Amino acid sequence: MSQQPTRGTWTKCPHCGGHVNQLEWGEYCQCPHCHQYLRLTAQQRLKITVDTNSFVPLEFQRKTNSQLQVPGYAEKLTENQQRTKLKEAVLAGQATINGVSLMIGVMDSHFMMGTLNTEVGRVIRVLYTTAKQRKLPLIMFIASGGARMQEGIFSLLQMNTILMAKREFDATKQVSISVLTDPTMGGVSASFAFKNDLVIAEKNAQIGFAGQRVIKATSADKLPANFQTAEDLLQHGLVDDVVAREHLRGYLATLLKLHQRG
């Protein structure tokens, strides 16, 4: 009989290197040794955030821009779709949290690092537009490595078009909330990630524009240990609060209740 553990029952923590049984991660995917979090899929995030069976996805025809015809891009999209069970790097729809209706979008770093492209931009614009039409508050969980290089300038254009949709949503006077998760980087952090009414960061999330390796290479400065962490951003007044994952649902429920409009 083999003495090797069954495949998939143990995972090496990417933060501390400790070996963790699949049962030890728990509902919030937190390492029992170092207490750091694993990155969640969009489906996992919804499961721990919204009321059970309340999420109804937005349905419309999807079309990803491939005008640049980058070799291998179509195959990469197909592989990511099959692996994540998502059509693109964001999942959006209507749901409830503690009975309060809202529109919610969740970016997924497991799909091409949650990069912003034409389709992700369109989904987020539709999310804001639908929230405006239905007069509902909006929560956006953000996880992204930045703009998707395979779509070049078309990806970068999404930053402004999303901000325009957000500006139109603001006319409803409904609250909009960003929840910055690990990682929130690049053009996403430079545009809509920080533009909602309230900007909350998940504990221990990495948040910035350029990555630490690039900054070290260009500046030759020694970076502090807490550089680009959610906690450092809070200390410098760049986010409104930092919340542990296990407390986020209750925290968001309170915010929604306090900001309810007729």
Shared-domain flag, residues 12 and 101: no
The tens digit of pLDDT for each residue in 108-161 reads 999 999 999 999 999 999 999 999 999 999 999 999 999 999 999 999 999 999
CATH, residue 83? 3.90.226.10
Total count of domains within the chain: 2
Query: Whose CA is closest to 49, among 118, 113, 115, 96?
Result: 96
Shared-domain flag, residues 23 and 48: no
Alpha-carbon distance of 145 to 238, in angstroms, equals 19
At 46 the three-state DSSP class reads: helix
Shared-domain flag, residues 213 and 243: yes
Shared-domain flag, residues 34 and 44: no
Distances (CA, A) of 257 to 175, 180, 260: 11, 21, 5
Give the pLDDT band of residue 1 (cuts 50, 70, 90).
very low
Q: What is the pLDDT averaged over residues 73-101?
A: 96
Shared-domain flag, residues 93 and 143: yes
Whether residue 183 has a cis bond before it, omega within 30° of 0: yes
Shared-domain flag, residues 150 and 183: yes
Positive/negative CA dihedral, 24, 25, 31, 32: negative
Q: Domain range for residue 21? A: 7-38
Alpha-carbon distance of 52 to 39, in angstroms, equals 21
The tens digit of pLDDT for each residue in 28-85 reads 999 999 999 999 999 999 999 999 999 999 987 667 777 889 999 999 999 999 999 9
pLDDT for 262 equals 58
Shared-domain flag, residues 81 and 33: no
Residue 99 in domain: yes
Query: Whose CA is closest to 129, among 85, 174, 76?
Result: 174
pTM here?
A: 0.92
| Strand order, beta sheet including 100-107 | 56-57, 90-97, 100-107, 138-144, 176-184, 198-202, 241-243
